Structure 1
Amino acid sequence: MKKRFVIPFSFILLLSMMVVSHAPEAMAADLSKGTYVVDYEMLQAENDSVSIANDYFEKPAILTIDKDGQYLQFTVNHAKWVKFIKSTNGESFADVHTVSDDLENDKRVIAFKIDGAITEPLLMQMHVVIEEMKPSYDHKYSVRLNLDLESMEVTDAPAVVVNAPVAESKSADTNETQGEPTSNKALIYVLLVIISIIAITFAIKINSSRQRKK
């Protein structure tokens, strides 16, 4: 009698885990070629808290998807403070492409080809120098760019065009620890395993109770 209840519960929960684990890949595969506006946040390297650098980046970004890949473009304010921004390029980092500089308004439009899945936060490096502060602020650190894919909307803005990046060492000096991106899937797996254990235990107890009543 126990097996009749335990096996269905286990099978359903295992199936749920498989569906969740493949959900990001399915979402990415469903994205059509074209140009979109998309909201985003800059997260800290070690966790999902919003980075202080988030305010330097204006929203939304422009995302272009074509046969050659996915390209992202956005505007940086206080551009004179931001000395460089680098995106991942294989096992290294590369300077992003500068599309335009607006010196009067202290803004810079940058773009880069996305290396990896847009369903996961994108690791980046940046160097910020604020000489007006006393003492001056001078820090290099890592951030993770997290796209809100649910906010994507088709736009008639020009497609994002990016020159081939020049790769640099991934071990570039940073003042903050460069942590691995926090995976939301890992948390989902843990939660599903816990739910699975609870469901199986509950099913066993129900069956045991029914058998005692008999």
Structure 2
Amino acid sequence: MIATNQGLNPAFHEAVCALAVNTWDKKKKNRHIVRGSVILPKSVGKDKKILVIAEDEEAEKAQEAGADLVVGSDEIPNIVSGAFEFAKFDLILTTPEMLKALRPAARKLRGLTPTVKKGTVLTDIAAGVKKFRNSVEFKTTKTGVCNVGLGKLTLDNESLKANLLAYLSGIRTFKPEDTKGEMLQKVHLTTSRGPSVEIAIKELKALGIK
């Protein structure tokens, strides 16, 4: 599926999926910026740092599940003021009960703000911590492009294929309502340091993207 260059150490490089997506809004005559996260079935080989904002029993469960740090509502004023260093985390998870308390911090957290749409507001926080260890975040550019790592080159081809299909199926669920036609326009696979290869959308659909 992905051929590595001779001399390329697979432990330090990853397979990358470069997408051109259709997010055109015909009425407003511009593109939507689409962002979200997709859960992959296989490990991407990165140590993702997860912050959980929860209290009481859910906080204890998150800690046991392996969250890197668990804080309660008492830290929210510090997030708002900038005293709490949240930027070192890749993901922030919370519970529905904490949403109202988190509203003042939304502008500060920006893309890390937990939302129902992104799936980062969870009733089962422990399961969420374990699941999101294998998640990837994406955001389309103004020209409708986004690049996402699918895993280290130490993964076998079947695992990389499973991650690719899961990612493409997942990103299609974020298609804006105002966008007409197929969301996926072009799909290229490449490595951290290597040439890219285009894969036809028809071939990907035949492989099982939803």
TM-score normalised per structure 2 = 0.27
TM-score normalised per structure 1 = 0.26
The structure carrying a bigger strand percent of its residues is: 1
Structure with the greater alpha carbon radius of gyration: 1
